Structure 1
């Protein structure tokens, strides 16, 4: 029995906002609720509602820029930068810029719609 898993077929999460989500490990892909690792592309002018997730979220920016409103502070990260946002923190993610943002998101425990607590828009 091998003690590793290679992921060649990430689960493409269906979205309605133009965002590409390819989950390599996590609830949608392999029923792993301990961690989720996803490659994402946020198109220009994309945003999500505010949320207060029950998981820590790590983000690494590969290309472009991404805006975070954390509590009441606005932060913009660029390629090569990363951030950890603690669970139970009010946050909004967006890409108000002209270029697509490519990034990796890691959630501990794994992302679940039941744990994200998005606010009504």
Structure 2
């Protein structure tokens, strides 16, 4: 058994909002419950509902800008910046800007839709 895995076929998460989500490592792509790593592109004017995930999430912005509303505080990150949001924090992710936002997301433990707790 190899001591490494090179990911060449990430799992592309089906979406209906125009966002690209490629899970390179995680629950679906590599059956790893401990961590997930995903490449994402949020289109202009994209947003998700508020949520309170049971996992921590790290985001690194490659290009564009991304807006976070964290416990009522608005934070905007640009290319080259990163953020860590602790588990059980109420947050909304969005790209209200005119250009796409490309970024890497790392969740620990791995992203699990049943543990996101999105608001309706």
TM-score bracket relative to the smaller structure: over 0.9
Per the TM alignment, residue 112 of structure 1 is displaced from its structure 2 partner at its CA by 0.6
Count of matched residue positions in the alignment of Structure 1 and Structure 2? 120
Instruction: Provide the residue aligned with 1:81 in structure 2.
Output: 81
Per the TM alignment, residue 52 of structure 1 is displaced from its structure 2 partner at its CA by 0.2
User: Residue 29 of structure 2: SS of its match in structure 1?
Assistant: helix
Instruction: Provide the residue aligned with 1:21 in structure 2.
Output: 21
Query: Cα RMSD (Å) of the superposition?
Result: 0.5
TM (norm. structure 2) is: 0.99
Q: Hey, what's the Cα distance between the residues in 2 that align with 1:40 and 1:86?
A: 20
TM (norm. structure 1) is: 0.98
Q: Deviations over 1:21-69 (max 9, x none)?
A: 0000001212211100000000000000000000000000000000000
When you count helix as a share of all residues, which structure comes out higher?
Answer: 1
Give ranges in structure 1 of 5+ residues lacking alignment. none
Is 2:52 the counterpart of 1:48? no
Q: Where does structure 1 differ by over 6 angstroms across 4 or more consecutive aligned residues?
A: none
Per the TM alignment, residue 77 of structure 1 is displaced from its structure 2 partner at its CA by 0.1
